[in-house]
Chain A
């Protein structure tokens, strides 16, 4: 709640976001319906075709997203409320961007090493912890996961060159 009282500029208003999301829903609905028509949304020789059910799913989605869209275009009340404010977005990106980098790293380094780097970086950058607090957490969490998954439950997780070097 530390940031709750502080006022900052809205990045995007609730109304805009509502319209964008409802529009995306309508788009998805159209894709679903188009694909259902492609595979056939009618009655085949042996009963309903593959697109029979999804077509109506798409249709209901289209109608209800258009309703949400219309309500929000009609009404301007959402204009003044912010969907997300600048400092909030900054905070969200503070988690999201490192998480994305972590996931990309996982593809190359394996999950254990990337987790270690991710936790260490996040604690240093967001939490501003001294190195002596960071190290135990960043090492023990992946190590704990390793013991639990690879040794105890025998569930393999993505591993990278370092683990291969160590013989796993």
Chain B
């Protein structure tokens, strides 16, 4: 029974991983990370991706294990933090908490902010927990499987990642492609590592280094978000939150009723997180499903606890499971996972199947920290909500310049280059324009991160086959991944055709709206 053996081995490694965490410094970094993360999630303009990007240089002096524990905890914290602003202020701190505002804010308006927040945090915790369980048992299996991957298989998986953005995104497929290709083009700038040729530098020495995706992330998400927030002329008018032990206990007693919703949300989230649909569509999808199947469906939108449980479980499950392909295949499922991947590369750790063989301690320390980090996160957010809510009341005209300064500091510290700060501003304006015209930013960032890797695996595959594209159908594994990728790529077209046929058959009955 090889499977059971595998599971036992995973458990053993996990227990070893908890041993790594026993270091009190690591526990301290965990709490620091969670607190910083919630702060980042609450503040406009600082999100999971650029928050981690800005704080990345601070961890260079730490050991890789401590650093990744702190960084991933920042990520958990940011996931939790998004819920606070959604419920209390009706302002989603993160895109994946948009769906939480639908029922979370009405609950707060009725004076049930405490219940809404407790439900949100607890279901976030549940979703993340399911995803971590999945990672614990699935990651070693996938990594073992991927050890046999050749360049063609790796390129196929990368192709699937990118095609999923086209198939699953709500934006125009052409815009997704444009943004994605811009990422690839920016990644190609600089010295080509294979031929030693200079590409698209146009004689500039500054462009030799190429574009660093951390700068892009800080600009696109940080500065871009500040510009957008400013444009809306946002005034934070929030509800106050009182969470005490009694409210928490009462809510916890009522939550088991929604177990079906929670499990469904987690499954949707895990699926969307592994295939890079991302946390945002997962939360919408889970909310939609819950609304469709709930007994209280007419109450959705007016402050229904189930409407908070559904998106939060899905968002957290997706956010967490996005780390599964990042660790096992070196392909991040979300921009934040991409930033974490960048961190791993900086510490000289190459994510991918070999990581599980060569850096066992690191991998299992990280997975163990996911368990503890989420428990720590739940404790921190439940006890400190009033503090963070009061931070949100600081007027935007104070917050905005401070965040711009922090972003500039973050951009500078990546390479100690002044030009990077200028680049960050440019990316900020680009991010603002793209957001307004709904060009998606996630594929751009992922292409920028994975560009070199995708290109080199494509080249290697082409070298093996002497330029024959048939190598992508040379065995059933790579063939099915590539075919799936192509289905994803043409999904907007396929689904449009299917819908047309269906509506003709039904005599033009109502078609389910996509969003």
Query: Is B truly associated with A?
Result: yes
Q: A50-B195, A68-B178 are in contact. Are A1 and B418 (CB under 8 A)?
A: no
Q: A4-B233, A103-B421 are in contact. Are A61 and B182 (CB under 8 A)?
A: yes
Which of B278-286, B329-337, B429-437 forms part of the interface with chain A?
A: B429-437
Bound-state Cα–Cα, A94 to B232, Å? 13
Interface extent on B, as a size class? 35 or more
As a 0/1 sequence over residues 169 to 190 of chain B, the CB contacts with chain A under 8 angstroms (1 = contact) are 0001111011001101100100
In the assembled complex, which residues on chain A have CB atoms less than 8 Å from the CB atom of B409?
111, 145, 149, 157
A73 interface residue (CB < 8 Å to B): no
- Interfacial residues of chain B within 277-305, with CB under 8 A of chain A in the complex: none
The answer to whether A28 and B231 have CB atoms under 8 Å apart is no
The answer to whether B408 and A102 have CB atoms under 8 Å apart is yes
In the assembled complex, which residues on chain A have CB atoms less than 8 Å from the CB atom of B11?
none
The answer to whether B232 and A50 have CB atoms under 8 Å apart is no
Q: Which residue of A lies closest to B413 (CB)?
A: A155
Bound-state Cα–Cα, A22 to B174, Å? 10
Bound-state Cα–Cα, A122 to B199, Å? 41
CB distance from A92 to the nearest CB of B (A): 5
- Interfacial residues of chain A within 25-58, with CB under 8 A of chain B in the complex: 25, 28-29, 31-32, 35-36, 39-40, 43-44, 47-54, 57-58
A137 interface residue (CB < 8 Å to B): yes
Bound-state Cα–Cα, A156 to B413, Å? 8
B234 interface residue (CB < 8 Å to A): yes
Bound-state Cα–Cα, A58 to B462, Å? 19
The answer to whether A149 and B413 have CB atoms under 8 Å apart is yes
Partner of A57, one of B188, B406, B439: B188
- Interfacial residues of chain A within 78-98, with CB under 8 A of chain B in the complex: 83-84, 88, 91-92, 94-96, 98
In the assembled complex, which residues on chain A have CB atoms less than 8 Å from the CB atom of B61?
153-154
B138 interface residue (CB < 8 Å to A): no
The answer to whether B425 and A53 have CB atoms under 8 Å apart is no
Q: Which residue of B lies closest to A52 (CB)?
A: B459
The answer to whether B200 and A31 have CB atoms under 8 Å apart is yes
B212 interface residue (CB < 8 Å to A): no
CB distance from A120 to the nearest CB of B (A): 9
B12 interface residue (CB < 8 Å to A): no
Q: Which residue of A lies closest to B200 (CB)?
A: A35
The answer to whether B418 and A60 have CB atoms under 8 Å apart is no
The answer to whether B467 and A43 have CB atoms under 8 Å apart is yes
B25 interface residue (CB < 8 Å to A): no
In the assembled complex, which residues on chain A have CB atoms less than 8 Å from the CB atom of B188?
32, 53-54, 57
- Interfacial residues of chain A within 105-145, with CB under 8 A of chain B in the complex: 106-107, 111, 115, 118-119, 122-123, 126-127, 129, 137, 141-142, 145
Beyond A39-B192, A53-B455, A154-B61, 17 additional contacts (C-beta under 8 Å) are A3-B232, A3-B233, A25-B178, A39-B199, A43-B467, A47-B463, A64-B177, A68-B175, A83-B437, A92-B227, A102-B404, A103-B422, A103-B425, A137-B398, A153-B61, A155-B60, A158-B412
